[in-house]
Structures are given as C-alpha cells and as structure tokens.
Amino acid sequence: MLLCSIFTLNAQQKFPQEYFENPLNVPIVLAGSFGELRSNHFHSGLDIKTEQREGLEVKASAAGYISRINIQHYGYGKALYIQHANGYTTVYGHLQKLAPKFEEYLKQKQYAKESYEIELFPKPGELAVEQGELIAYSGNTGGSGGPHLHFEIRDGSQRPMNAQLFGFDIADTRKPLIEGLFAYSLDEDAHVNNSQERLRLPLIPLQDGSYTTREVQACGDIGFGINTVDQQNMAPNRNGVYKMQASVNGDTIFEVTFDKFSFAETRRLNQLIDYEYYQTNNNRIQKLFKNQNNPLSIYGDLKNEGKLNIQDSLDYQYTIKVTDFKGNETLVRIPIKGSFSENINKKVGNETPYLAKSTQSFSANANGIDVYIPAGALYDDTFLELTFDPTSFVVHKDEVPLQSNMTIGFDVTEYAPEDREKFFIARLSQYGRPNYSTTYKKGNRFSTATRTFGTYKLVADITPPKVSPVNFYDGKWISENETLKLKITDDLSGIESFRATVNGKFILMEYEYKNATLTHDFSDGVVTDTENDLKVIVTDNVGNSTTYTAKFFRK
Ligand SMILES: [Zn+2]
C-alpha cells in the first residue's frame, strides 16, 4: 500500500494544491501558458484573460505581504509581488493601477523620487495582504499585447514555476496540435530521404487523432523537430504545450517538461528552437534533440541527446508524444528504414574568413569599425559574414542567436564634435529602419553592446521629440478633466526621458509607449491652483530636447 502510494505520486502533488486561489473573479481562461515560446524567452507565467478589458479586480492569490512593487514603461508594466509564508512568491503584471491603499503608498514614493518608473521593496509587515484581498486592477501596461493579467508563481530561488502545478482549475479537453514535422541530418554523413538539409515531412492524420508519415529512408545521426501548440477550452489562443517526449522502438530517448526554469537560462529558448527557421519563417520548430553547449534544465533524461543513430538496413519506429497539462496527448509515429545512399543532396557549408568558435572570444576590425564576441556568446562555431563598411557594418545575420552581448565600435575621429553629439549606433531592421542601440560615447570611439547580429551604422538624429496636447489646448479651462494627456514621439533615436511640472511643481505622468501618451491624473491632488503653467521637457536618446509649455485653468 505504502509503496503504491509513493509510486503514484505525480508532479502536481509535490506542490501545495489548496494554497493559492484564482486571483480574478472570472474563471481562468489562458491567453498564454507557462513555458510558452516567446521572443528570446520562455513565458514565465500564466496570461489570464480579462474579458478583453481593463479594470477587473485582482486579488491576492494567498495571504502574505507585498514584497516588491515594480513600475516600468516596458516589461511587466505595473507589477506587484507578494511573498507568502510557504516560501513562494506570486507576481501580478500589466496592472492598470493598484488598489487604493497600495496606490497611495506607491504615489507617495513616486512623488518623492519624481519618477514614474520605480522599484520598491516594502518590508515584511508593511503591506500585509489577506488571501482574496483586492490588491490591484487588471490592465495592459508595459509589454502587453492586449488586456490580461500576467500571473506567476516563483519558488524560493525566484525561479518561475508552472502555476498549474498548484492546482488551478483550467478546463482543457483538447489535444495539442502538431502542425509540422521536420527531420535533421546531424553528422557529416547522415541523410534523410537523400538529403542533408532540414526536411519537412508531410503528416498523415489517422482516425484516432494521431499522425503518421510515409516511411523515412535515413542513415547516420538524425533528429526531429515539430511545430506544436495547445489550445484550451473556451479560447482560440495558441498556447504552449506541457511535455514533449520521443521514443525509439519503445525506449524513451527525449523529454522536455515545462515545470520550471530560471531567468538566467530563459534566453536559451533559442537553443530549443530552430532559430534560423524562426527568423526566416516566423514559425518555431522545437527540436527533439539537444545540440552541444546546451545546459537548459527543462530536459529530462536524454539518450544520445535525443538523436537517433540509424544503421543501414535496420527498421525503427520513432514516436513523438506531445502532452498538455491536463494529460491530453497527440502522437506521431514515424517508420524509419536504415538505408545508406551515396547520391545525397549535401548540406552547403558557408565558409568565410571569419571563423568564430563558441568556446573562444572572437574579434576583428577594419576601416575604423570593430567587433568583439566573448567566449560562450555563440552556441556553435560559426563562419561569420562581416562587411566592414562604415556606412553599413554587416555583423553576420540574425539567423544565428547570441546568448550574451557582443560589442561593436565605431571610430568617429573624422567627424566634427558637434556632429558626433547627434550620432547614435543603430541596428537596421529588415526594412532598413534604424533602431536605437544603447550607445556609449568615449573619446573617439562610440560603442554598443548587443545580442543581435545584423547591420549596424552610425545615424544622426537632429530632430527633437514632438510634444502635443491630447485632451486640452493652451489657454483652456479644463475643470471637468480627470486627466491631462499629451502625445510624445521621437522619429529616430527614441524617447530617453521626460519631466513635467505645473507652476514649477513636479507632476507625475504615466508613460504608455504603446500609444505614445503621457497621462497625469488630477486626483493626485498636486494641481490645486486655478491658473496653471504646464511645462513638459522631453529628451531623446542623443540629447535633443523639446520644451512644451501651455496654460490651463481649473476650478
Ligand atoms: Zn505574460
């Protein structure tokens, strides 16, 4: 009996099941799942739908105290963290505003610091909360693509956990979708269906919801990858799956499970996916094998790193099983015949004079431009394409991911000091649009640290930001207004900072980059005069600044 119960313990039961409750008053429907594949990171929480609107009550998932308040323009926007007695932390992101007593606490600190962006660590006992207590209202602040609540549970080491392990009720009777299957040849002599290139294998659907393929002819070390997403009930959102497994002739050789990860490893998502395919097709293939230099902790016990070693004239049955959190599963069975072929479509290597090894640092320079890539930044040894053209410095292409920053430098000796002031280093988008890359200016060398290969150049921004009123104009009476709104934009280097005063007194303005607006809430109670001189100074990333002034009246 005892043995039996030990062996039936599943992952869920290791975690408290009744401790945390739904932080919203609406049933949990997911717009995003834990571990879901995002740009350069795994999603660290559950994105809970909020009826396509803002302002839903957000409650403390369990008793504890507010241990951190982080208000940012980007990222989680307005976020609250609650520390619980059992060692876990819950996180609530993209909030519209905090509950009144916490909002008051926050505003006091923001006014004291004279900054909208702020990070606070209240002491234990300072801001205690009961389970179910109103803590905030849901919103769409920061890097949010629409109103929702980002909800996270972190362990004692601040590692994000799959919140579903804690027993939330989320209806899901739908199987994961498998939308693409790919084969990879993984050593010099390997081949699949007479090719060494990435090969798409058509899926053949079967009556029972599983898939198969035509028999694959292969030889050598090969591996597979899939496009897969999961949908829950009551929502069309294409979320992440929970588990992917692969077996050969019944022996499991590969497993990935999204239970938890650490923020330090989240960028290594780019090693789980076929990054080049993603950059060129905007669709993520998850590899069911592991390349070298990949310490991601989401893998289970792998055999031969999940690769198959196919011997001539032997038969194999390779099976992929994809499972969602509720245990719904989809299978793909791939019959493989070992078959050596001499007539194969060879993979075309792209040799250049610049071989950068993943375990060594790399540097090169010419024509007053330089690049330095530290050891470990590249996952694989790579022949880099470098074109040292000062008007557009090509540093390989964004089909190869970087784990850590490389440094790019430009010698600006030939430019006059007044011209240099307006320069910044830009990365050109695929359409040639310059994007500001944080530029350090030291003597005659301007540099930037970046984790994205691509084309870089010096760009001059001579145009100061634009500032325009949204819900008032100069000289107007606005006694009925609850807010003061302005639009601020910058055409090239982007907004670096802003500061607003009324009659010389700092006023707090919330910056929402998605609609380029600054908003002051009159309920802050700092605008008390009838006649008011507004002054807003907005500065871009090279230091061009615009001072906007207007008079308004209130009673
Ligand atoms: Zn989220």
Q: Quote the CA–CA distance of 348 and 196 in Å, as a whole number.
A: 9
Distance 154 CA to ligand 1 centre (A): 14
Distance 517 CA to ligand 1 centre (A): 23
pLDDT digits 0-9 by tens, 292-304: 899 999 999 999 9
pLDDT of residue 391: 86
Residues 95-107 have a mean pLDDT of: 98
CB under 8 Å to 281, separation ≥6 — which residues?
Answer: none
pLDDT of residue 9: 45
Distance 54 CA to ligand 1 centre (A): 15
pLDDT of residue 13: 60
Mean pLDDT, the chain, rounded, equals 95
pLDDT digits 0-9 by tens, 378-427: 999 999 999 999 889 999 999 999 999 999 999 999 999 999 999 999 99
Distance 32 CA to ligand 1 centre (A): 7
Q: Quote the CA–CA distance of 104 and 474 in Å, as a whole number.
A: 30
Distance 197 CA to ligand 1 centre (A): 35
Q: Quote the CA–CA distance of 338 and 191 in Å, as a whole number.
A: 10
Q: Quote the CA–CA distance of 324 and 469 in Å, as a whole number.
A: 49
Residue 10 predicted with pLDDT over 80: no
Higher confidence at residue 346 or residue 229? 229
pLDDT of residue 271: 97
pLDDT digits 0-9 by tens, 343-370: 888 888 889 999 999 999 999 999 999 9
Distance 212 CA to ligand 1 centre (A): 34
| Whole-number percent of the chain with pLDDT over 90 | 94
CA distances from 97 to 80, 83, 84, 153, 471 (A): 10, 19, 22, 20, 21
Q: Quote the CA–CA distance of 219 and 79 in Å, as a whole number.
A: 52
Concatenate the DSSP letters of all residues of 191-232 into one string.
EETTB-S-EE---EE-TTS-EE-SPEEEEEEEEEEEEEEB--
Residues 325-329 have a mean pLDDT of: 96
Q: Give the CB-side neighbour count of residue 292, counting CA atoms within 13 A.
A: 10
Determine contact, residues 495/461, Cβ cutoff 8 Å. no
pLDDT digits 0-9 by tens, 231-285: 999 899 999 999 999 999 999 999 999 999 999 999 999 999 999 999 999 999 9
pLDDT band at 118 (very low <50, low <70, confident <90, very high): very high
pLDDT band at 5 (very low <50, low <70, confident <90, very high): very low
Residues 167-182 have a mean pLDDT of: 95
Long-range contacts of 418-421 (CB under 8 A, 24+ apart): 419/460, 420/446, 421/542, 421/543
Q: What does the DSSP 8-state code read for residue 101? A: H
Strands 329-338 and 211-212 come out as parallel
Distance 37 CA to ligand 1 centre (A): 11
What is the residue whose two structure tokens read 């919203």? 24
**Which residues place a Cβ less than 5 A from the ion ligand 1?**
47, 150
Q: Quote the CA–CA distance of 477 and 22 in Å, as a whole number.
A: 45
Distance 512 CA to ligand 1 centre (A): 18
pLDDT of residue 350: 85
pLDDT of residue 30: 96
Distance 43 CA to ligand 1 centre (A): 6
Distance 5 CA to ligand 1 centre (A): 36
CA distances from 433 to 401, 422, 423, 428, 457 (A): 21, 17, 15, 5, 11
Q: What does the DSSP 8-state code read for residue 277? A: H
Residue 12 predicted with pLDDT over 70: no
- For the CA atoms of the chain, what is the radius of gyration? 27
pLDDT digits 0-9 by tens, 119-152: 999 999 899 999 999 999 999 999 999 999 999 9
pLDDT of residue 342: 87
Distance 170 CA to ligand 1 centre (A): 16
Q: Quote the CA–CA distance of 308 and 538 in Å, as a whole number.
A: 58
pLDDT digits 0-9 by tens, 424-472: 999 999 899 999 999 999 999 999 999 999 999 999 999 999 999 999 9
Phi, psi of 413 (to 5 degrees): -50, -40
Distance 38 CA to ligand 1 centre (A): 10
Distance 144 CA to ligand 1 centre (A): 8
pLDDT band at 3 (very low <50, low <70, confident <90, very high): very low
pLDDT band at 7 (very low <50, low <70, confident <90, very high): very low
Residues 70-97 have a mean pLDDT of: 97
Phi, psi of 276 (to 5 degrees): -60, -45
Distance 34 CA to ligand 1 centre (A): 9
Determine contact, residues 461/421, Cβ cutoff 8 Å. no
Distance 150 CA to ligand 1 centre (A): 4
Concatenate the DSSP letters of all residues of 439-503 into one string.
EEEETTEEEEEES--EEEEEEE--PPPEEEESS--TTEE-TT-SEEEEEEE-SSS-EEEEEEEET
Residue 8 predicted with pLDDT over 50: no
What is the residue whose two structure tokens read 């989809």? 330
Cα-based angle 303, 309, 310 (whole degrees, multiple of 5): 145
pLDDT of residue 85: 97
Q: Quote the CA–CA distance of 470 and 518 in Å, as a whole number.
A: 9
For the record, the structure tokens of 4 come out as 């039996």
* Sign of torsion over alpha carbons 242, 246, 252, 256: negative
Determine contact, residues 419/460, Cβ cutoff 8 Å. yes
